[in-house]
Amino acid sequence: MKKKQRTTAGIRIKPLVLLVLLGLVFACGKGSSFLPADGKTSDFPETRFLLAQGTGAREIDARRQAMAELSAIFESRVSSRTESLARSSLGPDNTELFEKTLESRIQIVSSVRLEGAKIGKVWQDEALGTFHALAVLDRKDAGRKWTRDLEILDHRIGAEISTLETTPGKLGKMVALNQILDLSLERHAIESRLMVVKYPVMSESELDLGKMMSQLAAIRSNLQFYIDIPGEYGQMVGTVLSQTLTRNGILITPDRDKADAWVTGQVVVTPINLDNSRAVFVRATGNIQVVDTASHALFAEINQAVRKGHLDHNEAKHKAVLQMSQQISHGLVQALGLGETYTKEHVQ
């Protein structure tokens, strides 16, 4: 009997075929953990998440860029929507006031730290060696938080409206109206955020912002300040304050009896001994009071102190008083609710 001949034809594999099969197996295994180039996986559907992608040579660079892109996209949309809402609520009669007063404020209220934003995915393009990251913001979580913020803001606006109705003098009314303006813009910004994340805006405001802006414009155009700060350096402070108020549309009157607010105070300059033979140092201290003439009550008190050094004693005093004056000016702007950015005045 012939022996059965063992054959290996069924299991013999050529080396080239083996390499191809191994390559396919490796590619399939790798694809299960490698994300697509756009990073938008089913884990973060756009119906639920706001997404942005970042790329970098290092993983940390990709993460940072993704978060920056998400913030930039979000703030751009919020700023545009907030401006549109503000314009529509102000009406056509307040266009000039809008241009001069509101644009910088909208930039401030539109800026927001995206609490809850995080990096959802990180992956690497091995062919190029670059890293990719996907920043995500949960629309529902953000919407719930901003809805709560909106409710709190409505209560604050209501409180300022009550203040406006009960305040007798023009100074107090102007401050209340400025506060209402700021809070209303903040409200528009929150509404815009909710629109961007496609979350329903449940709260509705019945505030006639256009009417209040017209009232604010009328008050500011007739409001008069009387400034009298005695002494050589007090005059410098007075000049800086006059420049700031005039730039904001508030009149300065030389007649105390016609003023809606008085500004007075004291400025003291004292030498400082620092045992420095190359320069002399001084400290300028200012204490400024703003009085509401309608109620004769102290409206605001601003205190600032600045130390400066210079080779020349007079120049050291001048620099110290000027910087102190600028800081007091900034404090007055904040007290009046004018919302102006810190502008440095120049006094010769």
Provide the pLDDT for residue 41: 56
Mean pLDDT of 168-194: 89
Residue 215 confidence (pLDDT) above 90: no
* Closest listed residue to residue 213, CA positions, set 303, 122, 91, 129: 91
Q: Using pLDDT thresholds of 50, 70 and 90, give the confidence band for residue 140.
A: very high
For residue range 35-52, list pLDDT tens digits in order. Answer: 444 444 568 999 999 999
Residue 10 confidence (pLDDT) above 50: no
Is there a contact between 187 and 154 (Cβ–Cβ < 8 Å)?
yes
Is there a contact between 304 and 331 (Cβ–Cβ < 8 Å)?
yes
Q: Using pLDDT thresholds of 50, 70 and 90, give the confidence band for residue 8.
A: very low
Q: Using pLDDT thresholds of 50, 70 and 90, give the confidence band for residue 23.
A: very low
337's CB contacts (< 8 A; 6+ apart) are 174, 175, 178, 179, 182
Is there a contact between 58 and 129 (Cβ–Cβ < 8 Å)?
no
For residue range 91-105, list pLDDT tens digits in order. Answer: 666 666 566 666 667
For residue range 301-333, list pLDDT tens digits in order. Answer: 999 999 998 888 889 999 999 999 999 999 999
Give the whole-number percent of the chain exceeding pLDDT 70: 80
Highest mean pLDDT among 40-54, 134-148, 167-181: 134-148
Provide the pLDDT for residue 1: 46
Mean pLDDT of 185-208: 86
Provide the pLDDT for residue 39: 46
For the chain, the average pLDDT equals 82
Provide the pLDDT for residue 207: 81
Specify the range with the lowest mean pLDDT, choosing from 34-48, 49-63, 260-274. Answer: 34-48
Residue 15 confidence (pLDDT) above 70: no
Provide the pLDDT for residue 124: 93
Residue that wins the pLDDT comparison between 248 and 147: 147
Model's pTM, two decimal places?
0.70
The CATH number of 223-336, from 1.10.645.10, 3.40.50.1010, 3.30.160.150, 2.70.70.10, is 3.30.160.150
Q: Using pLDDT thresholds of 50, 70 and 90, give the confidence band for residue 89.
A: confident
Residue 139 confidence (pLDDT) above 50: yes
Q: Using pLDDT thresholds of 50, 70 and 90, give the confidence band for residue 339.
A: low
Residue 20 confidence (pLDDT) above 50: no
Residue 68 confidence (pLDDT) above 80: yes
Mean pLDDT of 8-19: 42
* CATH class entry, domain 49-139: alpha beta
